[in-house]
Amino acid sequence: MKFTIKNSLFTAIVSELHKICSNKSLLPILSGIKIEANDAGVVLTGGNSELFIEKKIPLQIKGETVVQVHEAGSVVVVSKHFMNLLKKLPDDIEISSDHMQAVLIKSGDIVTRLNGLAAVDYPKLPEIKILHSVEVEFSSLKDVIKQTIFAVSKSEAKPVLTGVKMEFDKNKLICTATDSHRLSRRAIQITFPEGSHSVIVPSKSLMELLHLKEPSFATVHISIANQMILFSIENTILYSILIEGNYPNTQSLIPTDFVTKVTTNTRALMAGIDRACVFSEEWKHNNVHLSLIDNSILKITTNSAGIGMIEEQQKTSKVDGIPAIDMTFDGRFFLEALKGIQEEQVTISFCGVMKPAVIEPENDASYVQLISPLRT
């Protein structure tokens, strides 16, 4: 194998893959990046036991030649040293490997030799039979993931809750995540003519999908196989395993009746809850208390005997139902819920003692969040 490549481009891609290469795997080869050079350019693959990312670098990008392949071939290089070295080399580099897997990296008067591994030993991606296929804009997909992924369970006790449920149903993609204390559900329009299908995708894989440096306007081709999902965007393919198991029925959890409904400015409420979380390191649950004064002013209070007290008052836009609230929430959960809301106004429906509150953008039923109150 032998090729010449623009280093800035190459290093950026190696860095992206390095982040997902596992250093602690039983398979040491997974700490490496597979490099393949062929007639069409260079293909880099990195991954761990849950996901793989494959990146194609074509010979030309926007008319400019970025790769010249002198000899086809493949090799695996330990990603850490490779990346650290590349960062410190000038822009034009030549990479070659011999039959002993010695990888030679040349750049001007700098010659580096790294011990490589045989590409044939790199795990092969399973042959997969695509069951369903969907197209969606990358920016929309990123939004719907960001608006739900924070609510997944951080504990491995119930593996299904560590993933995001993706439901493809009647021209809709509905993402749901819950850790049983809070829930986030968002729907977007897609074209999915093939009935309905739902999968649970590991949150780690979706996090890597969010980090992909592909343009936001690009189209993502989602392909679902039996135990795997593929996201294909421009020159990148992300392969992820799926989580097996039954996702709880979350529809029944969403209250349909409310006692008090408050509509207020999203950013102002976020800033207030954020301030109320200042002492949060100090005790386990970061209790933020909400109440109403004069039927229209929202009072946000936090109180720690040892440290002090924070209190602030915010004018609300509208109060429906009975104008009385006296509830305590985990401030961090509340903050994360509000972060997902892009609309100027947010509606919070309080549904009675110890029942979850419903947080929604005003006049938008496609995004629903639940937060359970805390016992005080």
> Does 234 interact with a copy of itself (rule: CB under 8 A)?
no
Say whether residue 85 binds a copy of itself (CB under 8 A). yes
CA distance 164 to 284: 26
Q: How many CB atoms lie under 10 A from the CB of residue 15? A: 14
- Strand-pairing partners, residue 186, are 175, 367
Pick 2 or 80: Cβ nearer a copy of itself: 80
Nearest approach, Cβ of residue 373 and a copy of itself (Å):
23
Q: Does 292 bind a copy of itself (CB under 8 A)?
A: no
Beta bridge partners of 69: 3
Least Å from the CB of residue 301 to a copy of itself? 10
The CB-of-318 to a copy of itself minimum distance in angstroms stands at 19
| Helices H / strands E in the chain, number of each | 6, 28
Is 306 near a copy of itself (CB under 8 A)? yes
Choice between 92 and 244, CB closer to a copy of itself: 92
Q: Does 27 bind a copy of itself (CB under 8 A)?
A: no
Using the contact rule CB under 8 A, the part of the chain among 7-15, 113-121, 161-169, 221-229 near a copy of itself is 113-121
Q: 61 or 114: whose CB is closer to a copy of itself?
A: 114
28 binds a copy of itself per the rule CB under 8 A = no
* Residue 311 binds a copy of itself, judged by CB under 8 A: yes
Spatial CB neighbours of 100, under 8 Å, sequence gap ≥ 6: none
What is the sign, positive or negative, of the torsion defined by CA atoms of 69, 70, 74, 77?
negative
Is residue 362 a contact residue for a copy of itself (CB under 8 A)?
Answer: no
- Is residue 115 near a copy of itself by the rule CB under 8 A? yes
- Beta carbon nearer to a copy of itself, 115 or 171: 115
Interface with a copy of itself, residue 133, by CB under 8 A: no
Single-letter amino acid code for the residue at 362: E
Residue 232 DSSP SS3: strand
**Euclidean distance between CA atoms 247 and 257, whole angstroms:** 25
Q: What angle do CA 31, 48, 246 make, to 5 degrees?
A: 165
> Does residue 103 interact with a copy of itself by CB under 8 A?
yes
* Dihedral sign from CA coordinates of 339, 343, 349, 355: negative
89 forms part of the interface with a copy of itself (CB under 8 A): yes
Q: What is the DSSP string of 61-113?
A: ETTEE-EEEEE-EEEEEEHHHHHHHHHTS-SEEEEEE-TT-EEEEEETTEEEE
**Is position 310 an interface residue for a copy of itself (rule: CB under 8 A)?**
yes
Asked whether position 279 contacts a copy of itself by CB under 8 A, the answer is yes
Judge residue 229's burial from the number of C-beta atoms within 10 Å of its C-beta, 0-12 exposed, 13-18 middle, 19 or more buried.
buried
Q: Does 313 bind a copy of itself (CB under 8 A)?
A: yes
Interface ranges with a copy of itself (CB under 8 A): 78, 81, 84-85, 88-89, 103, 109-115, 271-272, 274-275, 278-279, 306-314
